[in-house]
A and B are shown apart, each in its own frame.
Chain A
């Protein structure tokens, strides 16, 4: 029983980062209809940038800020160089393009940082937090806090501001929103930048726990989109719930079976959701087509 509780706590930590990656997926998918397979690379870029800068002696806060900016810039470039030139392509072509972006970003990271793993010191010192007999690393609070911050900011922006309402209008009905002067292309660009920045920030706060290397983005990206699909792909609350559900199920399953199975379980869940309930837990409509 104690072991099970510990697995769940571990799952909460992973779930918090999965939820952030999933939020990026959902933002881009809602605004542009594109499934961005490169989303996990932004987490890697954020983590790698912050870790290598602090390793070079830079204090944490400027390093973290630069890491988020670098991730956002990577998102902006990915959109401008790869997505916008092909914006009239079929959904599948766009999906393949994001696959190309994913491979290219990982290759670039290999060039810049090599294959060595990087680590980042925890933001706050102190002992593990004991909760009903289970332990959480202090850094987990930073990750969970980032979730609160990011999802809270997205909620306020989308629900409480005029600009956010315009974004929701663009999501609900692009052609009509466009006739009202809503700049769809700018929103598409912004969705990539914001999603990349969120990923980068997630990378910064999570890196002290597992460390980071050039190919870490693949794992985050895959887990993030399982979480996003689980939540319904077009729902931000779904991304949050999907992320934590996946994190917990993955950890419990890996704990009870063997550590190697966690990714298998994650993707088994993805298959199951796609087949049984393709609209996800929170999605609005069946999306078979």
Chain B
């Protein structure tokens, strides 16, 4: 684990290379899944900095993905701005909202912080639903794709783009958590009073981690909007936030690779269950899978509360 974590950059680059090769062999359906895993992994990396390293909790992360997606979609559809700028604007918008909200929600800790972030996730989703300017409940269609010169991104390009962003995200977060800054974050999660006693400004630190997680989510949202060309409020609801928690917990809250592993497992498991369940239990609908996702979350938390990657770390040392 220590060796792997010291090599965030190279390993991430290798992942991109693998994805770049895979997309030429996979059927288009699986390429789409690969893109989705990348997008989710990006959100979860940011979430792990906030939840795992800084020791906080967010049950409303899907809202920031939505803000990134809507910002980019509105700019590119209504003002014909290139999605590249849209993604940057999406990240900025998510960061701005997170910064403003941090003064409200980050006054709370643990259980109450969980409830407050859950609440803001739902309030933001209601705004998506009710604001006619951004399409209301029927959402936004025909979101333009990313372009590079005269090349308009296709499925393969989106998968590669998503994983390049994962690589950059993991490289950045990896450097961050190994720096003095990251160790201070961990100090805050270990005991906020103690951290304050040695001169850590925990309030600022928690706020920065929150904003950073929103930036990751915002960028992911913008890529989501352009690659799927269609968004609506239900894409960014409470259940997506729950899925991010699931990815975080399965992979291991305090692990950046855990975010990638968690996202991969949750998406893959969803696919496997969707095909296996109707075969094993005739008459059961594919979406019965959520039962298993819930059970897996519970079992993971009981047996391995620090996630799959904690196992590797234990056996490696």
Query: Which residues of A are in contact with B by a Cβ distance under 8 Å?
Result: 35, 81-82, 85-86, 89-93, 95-97, 99-108, 110-111, 114-115, 218, 222, 225-226, 229, 258, 260-261, 263-264, 267-268, 270-271, 274-275, 278, 287-289
Contacts and interface: CB of A to CB of B under 8 A. Distances in A.
B108 interface: yes
B305 interface: yes
Interface in B228-243: 238, 242
B249 interface: yes
A270 B119 contact: yes
Contact of A229 (B57, B115, B285, B297): B115
A105 B294 contact: yes
Interface stretch (B123-131, B162-170, B173-181): B123-131
B302 A96 contact: no
B197 to A, nearest CB: 16
Closest 8 CB pairs of A and B: A107-B291, A104-B294, A264-B126, A103-B294, A100-B297, A107-B290, A100-B298, A267-B119
A103 B293 contact: yes
A8 to B, nearest CB: 22
B3 interface: no
Nearest to B56: A92
Nearest to A114: B285
22 contacts: A86-B301, A91-B111, A92-B57, A95-B57, A95-B114, A96-B297, A97-B302, A101-B294, A103-B297, A104-B292, A104-B294, A105-B294, A107-B287, A107-B294, A229-B115, A258-B130, A260-B129, A267-B120, A274-B105, A275-B104, A275-B108, A288-B112
B268 interface: no
Contacts of B129: 260
Interface residues of B, number: 46
Contacts of A274: 105, 108, 112, 115-116, 119
Contacts, number: 145
Interface string B275-310: 000000100110111111111111001100100000
Interface of B: 57, 59, 104-105, 107-112, 114-116, 118-120, 122-123, 126-127, 129-130, 137, 238, 242, 245-246, 249, 281, 284-285, 287-298, 301-302, 305
A103 B290 contact: yes
B301 A93 contact: yes
Name the residue among B116, B118, B296, B302 with the largest chain A CB count within 10 angstroms: B302
B46 to A, nearest CB: 18
Contacts of B111: 35, 91-92, 95
